[in-house]
Amino acid sequence: MAAPRRGSARLLSLLHPYKLLFAGTIAATVVSSVLDGFTFVLLIPFLRTLFGDSALPSQGGSQVEAVLDKIAGPFLRAGTPEIALRNVVIVLLVALFLKNITQYLSALGQVSIQEGIVRDLRVRLFDHLQRLPLGYFQRTRAGQTIARVISDTDQVKTAVSAALASLLQNVVVIIVYVVILFGLSVKLTMLSLLLAPVLLLIIRPMINRLRRRSRELAAERGEVTSHVGEMIASAKLVRAYVAEAFELDRFRVLAERYLKRVLRAQRYSSLTSPVSEVFGGVMIVLILVVGTRLALGTGATLEPAVLITFLAVSLRLMSPIKSVSNYPTVMASATASAERVFEVLDLPPAEGDRPGETTAEFSDRIEFRGVSFEYEASEPVLRDVDLEVKRGQIVAIVGPSGAGKTTLVDLLPRFYEPTRGAILMDSVPLTNYTRTSVRKLMGIVSQETVLLNDTVLANVAYGLKDVPLEQVRAAARAANADEFIMRLPEGYATVLGERGTRLSGGQRQRIAIARALLRDPPILILDEATSALDTESERLVQEAIERLMAHRTVFVIAHRLATVQHADFIVVLAEGRIVEHGSHTNLLAGDGLYRRLYNLQFRS
Ligand SMILES: Nc1ncnc2c1ncn2[C@@H]1O[C@H](COP(=O)(O)OP(=O)(O)OP(=O)(O)O)[C@@H](O)[C@H]1O
Ligand SMILES: [Mg+2]
């Protein structure tokens, strides 16, 4: 991985794909700023005509006038004052028109770049999230991650757009205007420029504080997002326990804290604007005082028309200068967000194939050899598990809740890697194979069926492309699901999930079974749901499971009596260890945990 670069350098690297567009935008900005300055310079001939002079002096005018003379001299000097004035207006209108076209183009360019950067970042984050270890999602609140993908990327855009708009555009404008000011009066311009560094010294310390506050604020935004998400997910629980008031109080506290954070950050970010404005005001007053002294009296070196233009241009300079002095403020909060985005991007991905990994093949057996596993350091969940399953066998895993059954089967698709020992497929460690190829060999029906916000068809054919409806229906039929699916309002086109039709527990399970059947994997991992089903759906689900298990190598976490009896052998897991091992009859004949569990569950 590349060494972490400084935030701002990294932000600039986001611009890379937009080099050309960026150059075009800058060009448009420069042209529009020059034209903007030009419209102001046209004030001079206008004022001169108004004061009864000729629109342009024949000699001895300011530098700016000399340039203006070169560009539009004959046109502005022509004929009577009325004609000259009319001509000034025409030139003004043309310049104004061109200026706005280029300004429009530059605005469009800026937005395309900004939004392009946001999209790039979001896609990169999404892609990266999909490759992070599963542990990340258990450690991190969902809302924090969502906030990073949605609002923090948006803030990053502000940073880049601030770099684009606020800085580049305004710097160009300022340079153009300062050049014009120099052309009008060197003395007055020097005077104003000498004061500029003072402003910098005043603003600097405020920015450092703001950066820290912004970081806190972004984290708090993630907390608020998390809380809302969790309330939505647990809406039923909240109602069931009449906990609305409790939840509201918790949210109020959070919202209040967010408000405080916003205000604390705002204290600094709102300060730069008035500070720079007061500063600008002082500058204008100074120009007025010194300017009038230069323009009045007998030894006057400045013409009134030039002084007025100088003032107008200086006033026009206020707004870009204000924006530029605001730039560090905007950057402070944006870099805080950018750091949060880059933090996620810098997490080492767990997935992704390592060199030397090959495509998995399965023909003979799967073995666990001395496998231990822990989620947290020194809290073993699996201890020294040895297990051998031959192709075509069904192994049932039973044991008390929390024994590590789900964890054991989660190691097969390489969701996690064993902390010690190895899992071998045909005597080759699973780690020699790519994760994707290992997973393609396995069908997984987990304890909780996850349905996507999509049609039944897409839910059954999840992850597969262009599967014919007939094939999906065949899988659903084998899973005893076709019948109820056909009774849904739009059959296989019915949308399921959050915003669609809700299914019962047994129906969801059968969708999951159809999903696994359609993929037709040689290895099957079945984490039987413990949810009680009525006898009718129990029978339908059981039938579906039996069809699914046929001719496959099956790891089944078994709760159902029927499943246990179908198994070739059973392992009993307790506190992460295999404590018993054997056939149903043998284990029942013994006097171990299996018999106790069996008696508890299936006494009837
Ligand atoms: N992501 C995780 N991070 C930390 N600990 C975990 C994680 N998942 C499970 N555990 C812990 O590991 C142990 C085994 O959990 P596991 O889910 O494998 O149990 P189980 O046998 O499947 O239980 P059940 O029958 O209730 O489904 C438990 O003590 C659990 O608290
Ligand atoms: Mg489990």
* DSSP secondary structure of 133-173: -HHHHHHS-HHHHHHIIIIIHHHHHHHHHIIIIIIIIHHHH
Instruction: Give the pair of three-digit tokens for residue 569.
Output: 């052998």
Give the distance (Å) from ligand 2 centre to CA of residue 530: 9
More confident of the two residues 533 and 489: 489
Element (H, E) at 523: strand 523-527
pLDDT of 315 > 50? The answer is yes
State the average pLDDT over residues 474-499: 88
- Is the CB–ligand 1 distance for residue 559 below 6 Å? no
- DSSP letter (8 states) at residue 496: B
Tell me where in the chain the CATH 3.40.50.300 domain(s) lie: 354-440+568-604, 449-524+532-551
Which of 406, 446, 600 gets mutated to test ligand 1 (max ligand atoms within 8 A of its CB)? 406
**pLDDT per position as a tens digit, 257-287:** 999 999 988 888 888 778 878 888 888 888 8
Q: Does the Cβ of 151 fall within 6 Å of ligand 1?
A: no
Residue with CA at minimum distance from ligand 1 atom 24: 401
Residues 6 or more apart in contact with residue 116 via CB below 8 angstroms: 17, 18
User: What is the whole-number distance in angstroms between the Cα of residue 428 and the centre of ligand 2?
Assistant: 27
Shortest-distance atom of ligand 1 to CA 134: 1
Closest ligand 1 atom to residue 403 Cα is: 21
- Whole-number Å distance, alpha carbon 447 to ligand 2 midpoint, is 7
For residue 485, the CA-to-ligand 2 centroid distance in Å is 28
- For ligand 1, mutation pick of 139, 140, 372, 381 (most atoms within 8 Å of CB): 381
Tell me how far the alpha carbon of residue 580 lies from the centroid of ligand 1, in angstroms. Answer: 20
Please tell me the predicted confidence (pLDDT) of residue 602: 64
354-440+568-604: CATH, from 3.30.70.1150, 3.40.50.2300, 3.60.21.10, 3.40.50.300: 3.40.50.300
- Residue 212 CA to residue 84 CA, distance in Å, equals 58
Q: Is 380 in the pocket of ligand 1 (CB under 6 A)?
A: no
* Exposed / middle / buried, residue 554 (Cβ in 10 Å: 0-12, 13-18, 19+): buried
Alpha-carbon distance 261 to 214, whole Å?
8
Q: Which ligand is nearest to the CA of 398?
A: 1
The confidence score (pLDDT) of residue 157 equals: 83
Q: Calculate how far, in angstroms, residue 461's C-alpha sits from the geometric centre of ligand 1.
A: 29
> 555 C-alpha to center of ligand 2: Å?
13
- Check pLDDT > 80 for residue 79: no
Residue 55 — very low, low, confident or very high, per pLDDT cuts 50/70/90?
Answer: low
**HEC-encoded secondary structure of 228-290:** HHHHHHCHHHHHHCCCHHHHHHHHHHHHHHHHHHHHHHHHHHCCHHHHHHHHHHHHHHHHHHH
Ligand 2 centroid distance, CA of 405 (Å):
6
Rounded Cα–Cα distance for residues 553 and 526 (Å): 11
State yes or no: pLDDT of 208 exceeds 90: no
Cβ atoms of 366 and 424 closer than 8 Å: yes
Confidence check: pLDDT of 4 > 60: no
| Ligand 1 touching residue 188 (CB < 6 A) | no
* The residue count for the chain: 604
Q: Is 73 helix (H, G, I), strand (E, B) or coil?
A: helix
- At 3 the pLDDT is 41
**Nearest ligand atom owner, CA of 573:** 1
Q: Which amino acid is at 357?
A: E
Separation of CA 399 and ligand 2 centre (Å): 10
For 11, the enclosing helix (H) or strand (E) is helix 7-13
Q: Please tell me the residue having the least CA distance from ligand 1 atom 4.
A: 375
What tokens does 203 get? 């603003």
Q: Which residues of 137-171 are buried (b: 16+ CB within 10 A; e: fewer)?
A: eeebbebbbbbbbebbbbbbbbbbbbbbbbbbbbb
Q: Are 395 and 440 in contact (CB under 8 A)?
A: no
Q: Which fold has domain 449-524+532-551?
A: Rossmann fold (3.40.50)
DSSP state of 427: T
Lowest mean pLDDT among 33-42, 235-244, 488-497: 33-42
401 alpha carbon to ligand 2 midpoint, in Å? 7
- Atom 26 of ligand 1, residue of closest alpha carbon: 401
Question: Per-residue pLDDT averaged across 26-40, rounded?
Answer: 84
Closest ligand to residue 405's CA: 1
Query: Which residue CA neighbors atom 10 of ligand 1 most closely?
Result: 375
pLDDT average, residue stretch 593-600? 83
Rounded to a whole number of angstroms, the distance between the first and last alpha carbons of the chain is 60
d(CA 436, CA 447): 22
Q: Ligand 1: which residue has its CA nearest to atom 31?
A: 402
Query: Which ligand does the CA of 397 lie closest to?
Result: 1
Is the pLDDT at 59 greater than 70, yes or no?
no
Ligand closest to CA 139: 1
Mean pLDDT confidence for 429-458: 89
Atom of ligand 1 nearest to the CA of 407: 18
Q: Could you give the CA distance from residue 4 to residue 38 in angstroms, rounded to a whole number?
A: 45
Ligand 1 binding pocket mutation candidate from 375, 525, 557 (most atoms within 8 A of CB): 375
For ligand 2, the distance from its centroid to the CA atom of residue 556, given in whole angstroms, is 11
Q: Which ligand is nearest to the CA of 530?
A: 1
Q: What separation in Å is there between the alpha carbon of 402 and the centre of ligand 2?
A: 7
Is the CB of residue 404 below 6 angstroms from any atom belonging to ligand 1?
yes
| pLDDT (0 to 100) of residue 281 | 85
The answer for 157, left when phi > 0, alpha when psi is -120 to 50, beta otherwise, is alpha
Beta carbons within 8 Å of 176's beta carbon, 6+ residues apart? 30, 33, 34, 36, 37
403 lines ligand 1 (CB under 6 A): yes
At residue 486, the 3 state secondary structure works out as helix
Percent of the chain with pLDDT over 70: 94
pLDDT at position 386 = 95
Phi-psi region of 218 (alpha: psi -120 to 50; beta: other; left: phi over 0): alpha
Which ligand 1 atom is at minimum distance from the Cα of 138? 1
Task: Tell me the average pLDDT of the chain.
Answer: 85
Q: Which ligand is nearest to the CA of 400?
A: 1
Residue nearest to atom 9 of ligand 1 (CA): 407
Q: Is 104 in the pocket of ligand 1 (CB under 6 A)?
A: no
Tokens in use for 488?
């849904």
What is the pLDDT, as a whole number, of residue 237?
87
Whether 440 and 448 have beta carbons less than 8 Å apart is answered as no
Q: Which atom of ligand 1 is nearest to the CA of 399?
A: 21
Buried b (16+ CB within 10 A) or exposed e, 471-497: ebbebbbbbbbbebbeebeeebebbbe
pLDDT of 498 reads 66
> CA of 383: how far to CAs of 2, 386, 389, 402, in Å?
38, 9, 18, 14
Is any ligand 1 atom within 6 A of the Cβ of residue 76? Answer: no
pLDDT of residue 7: 65
Right CATH for 18-184+207-266+323-346 from 1.20.1560.10, 1.10.260.40, 1.10.150.120, 3.40.1160.10: 1.20.1560.10
Say if residue 351's pLDDT is above 90: no
Please compute, for residue 147, the number of CA atoms within 13 A of its CA located in the half-sphere on the CB side.
21
**Residue 383: nearest ligand to its CA?**
1
Check whether 81 has a pLDDT greater than 80: no
- List every span in the chain annotated with CATH 1.20.1560.10: 18-184+207-266+323-346
CA of 602 to the centre of ligand 2 (A): 19
pTM over 0.85: no
